[in-house]
């Protein structure tokens, strides 16, 4: 399947007695933004860790960029980059030094050029020679994103990219993520924010109690619930209302 970037089938994972993933299925199209949406503790980071080879699953299959995560972990790792909730930025170094360091670690040919191109792309040229400790939360997250793109991996994993950011910085990160997807990179992001999924994602999958309980484009998810008619005006459901309705429905079963 050349246009499928990530494929997950019947994925299961327990931590001792705690069944976190109870048979998870989804696929992610190449070049799209896919949001795995779920509350705190739903198992989002567990999925990300399995897909990025940091954690072994119990059963089921997962392929990333056509490589099975259990059988070809090295190929999988070369296909991706991971940015976590906690930035990997070295505060003592400048933005430019941080990027050059990663470019050197990845054995790229012209580390300085790579760094400068990314600084430009992420609007950090002016701050390039300042220590990262002086950066705002949004600038730091942008630097972190830039660092994860050194060497241009085809798939980018973002585990709660805007958790802990103020509203302005969140919007900055959203803009960067959209630009990345426009440049052809596949973005797999997790979020507990409905508005984030609504803003960014081409495809949304809701992880709840160990399973994907709903999945589709925002429009498809909206179709699960016919709009409520308020007099003559059709009320558009927000993702939040859809999410609560789906979960409510599940819990009442």
Size of the site for Mg ion (CB under 5 A): 2
- Closer CB to Mg ion, 98 or 170, in the complex: 170
Q: Rule CB under 5 A: choose which of 5, 45, 83, 199 binds Mg ion.
A: 45
Question: Whole-angstrom Cα distance, residue 144 to residue 15?
Answer: 30
Specify the DSSP class assigned to residue 65.
T
Name the one range near Mg ion by CB under 5 A: 43-51, 52-60, 114-122, 234-242.
43-51
Q: How far is the CB of 41 from ligand ADP (least distance, A)?
A: 4
Annotate 151-188 with b (16+ C-beta within 10 A) or e (fewer). Answer: eebbbbbbbbbbbebeeebbebbbebbeebbeeebbbb
Maximum distance among all alpha carbons in the chain? 64
Contact call for residue 186 and Mg ion (CB under 5 A): no
Binding stretches for ligand ADP (CB under 6 A): 15, 18, 20, 38, 40-46
Q: How far is the CB of 190 from ligand ADP (least distance, A)?
A: 6
- Closer CB to ligand ADP, 50 or 115, in the complex: 50
Helix (H) / strand (E) element for 25: namely strand 18-29
Contact positions toward Mg ion, by CB under 5 A? 44-45
């Amino acid at each position: 399947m050349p246009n499928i970037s990530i494929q997950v089938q019947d994925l299961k994972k327990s931590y001792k007695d705690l069944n976190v993933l109870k048979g998870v299925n989804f696929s992610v199209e190449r070049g799209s933004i896919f949001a795995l949406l779920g509350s705190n503790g739903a198992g989002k980071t567990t999925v990300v860790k399995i897909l990025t080879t940091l954690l072994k699953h119990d059963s089921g299959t997962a392929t990333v960029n056509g490589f099975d995560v259990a059988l070809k972990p090295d190929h999988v790792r070369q296909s991706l980059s991971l940015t976590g909730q906690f930035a990997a930025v070295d505060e003592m170094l400048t933005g430019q030094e941080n990027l050059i360091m990663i470019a050197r670690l990845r054995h790229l040919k012209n580390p300085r050029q790579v760094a400068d191109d990314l600084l430009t792309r992420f609007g950090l040229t002016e701050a390039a020679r300042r220590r990262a400790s002086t950066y705002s939360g949004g600038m730091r997250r942008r630097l972190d994103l830039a660092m994860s793109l050194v060497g241009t991996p085809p798939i980018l994993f973002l585990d709660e990219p805007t958790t802990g950011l103020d509203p302005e910085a969140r919007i900055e990160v959203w803009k960067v993520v959209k630009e990345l997807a426009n440049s052809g990179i596949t973005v797999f992001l997790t979020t507990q924010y409905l508005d984030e999924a609504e803003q960014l994602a081409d495809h949304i999958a809701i992880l709840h109690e160990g399973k994907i309980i709903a999945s589709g484009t925002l429009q498809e998810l909206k179709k699960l619930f016919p709009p409520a008619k308020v007099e003559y005006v059709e009320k558009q459901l927000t993702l939040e209302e859809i999410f609560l309705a789906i979960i409510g429905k599940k819990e009442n079963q």
